[in-house]
Structure formats: C-alpha cells, structure tokens
C-alpha cells in the first residue's frame, strides 16, 4: 500500500512518539523535493555568492583606499614636519640642503627667510649672542687666571 493512501494512525504505527502532522509533512516535503535536483540550487547559490563577493569587494576596496590615503597623508605630513623641525633646529643636513648655496635655490631661500624673520626676533637673537659672548669671555678669563696659579 502506498504511504499516501495510509491513514494517519497507520503512518504512526511504528513511530509512537511521532504525530501525524510530522509524517504527513514529511510526505509533502518528499513529494516537493522529488521535483528538485541539486542543480536547481546552483543559481540561487551563485546569486548569493555574487552578492556577497560584491559586498565584500566594496568593503575591502573602500578600506584599502581610505587606509592608503590616510597612510600617504600621514607620511607626507611627517616628512614636512621633520624637515621644518630640522631647519628650525639648525640640523646641519637640513641647512646644507635647503638654505646654503649647495641647494639650487639657496640664495632665494635665505633671502626669503631673512625677510620673514621679524626685526624684534633678530634683535633678541643678537642680544642672546652678545650675552653668550660676554659669558664666554668671562669663562676664558677665569681659565687663564686659574692656569696662572
């Protein structure tokens, strides 16, 4: 006898814990699935895979571009800050490279720098150097007196 022709009670005879809705549900599901083959799911998986791939690519591309832009900006800023700090700190390599005549625009750069420095700052630096010079003269005089003893 075909299982579709059996009563609910007959379907559950060997399965006392199962209810008829389970066996009938299984019958219906098996009937539907007989029409399907694994290949029927391939287009569904392909569209799902394509959508996921596209979404992942968008995320990765945006991350890579943003990260690369951020890294470039940081590197350029760092290089500029190091050059400015080197020039302001009078590091010899920076002075030689950018301010002295060894550099192709050294004269122009020196003239520009001199024009940008306020007169008050120049005067203050001259006073600093004069004080330092006076202190050095005192130190030399003290050393000479000490060495004469």
Displacement of CA 111 from its chain's centroid (Å): 40
By the 8 A CB rule, do 76 and 69 touch? Answer: no
Alpha-carbon distance of 137 to 113, in angstroms, equals 31
pTM for the model stands at: 0.42
Alpha-carbon distance of 112 to 114, in angstroms, equals 5
Alpha-carbon distance of 121 to 141, in angstroms, equals 30
Q: What is the pLDDT along the chain (149 residues), one digit of tens a residue?
A: 566 677 777 777 777 677 777 777 888 888 888 888 888 889 999 999 999 999 999 999 999 999 999 999 999 999 999 988 998 888 888 888 878 766 677 788 878 877 888 888 888 889 999 999 999 999 999 999 999 88
Three-state DSSP state, 37: coil
């Amino acid at each position: 006898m075909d299982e579709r022709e059996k009563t609910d009670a007959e379907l559950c005879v060997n399965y006392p814990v199962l209810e008829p809705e389970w066996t009938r549900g299984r019958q219906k599901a098996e009937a539907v699935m007989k029409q399907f083959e694994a290949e029927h799911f391939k287009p569904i998986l392909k569209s799902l895979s394509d959508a996921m791939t596209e979404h992942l690519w968008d995320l990765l591309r945006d991350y890579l571009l943003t990260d690369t832009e951020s890294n470039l900006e940081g590197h350029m800023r760092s290089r500029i800050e190091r050059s400015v700090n080197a020039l302001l700190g009078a590091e010899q390599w920076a002075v030689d490279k950018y301010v002295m005549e060894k550099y192709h625009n050294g004269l122009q750069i020196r003239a520009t720098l001199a024009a940008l420095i306020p007169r008050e700052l120049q005067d203050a630096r001259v006073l600093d150097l004069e004080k330092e010079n006076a202190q050095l003269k005192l130190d030399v005089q003290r050393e000479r007196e000490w060495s004469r003893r």
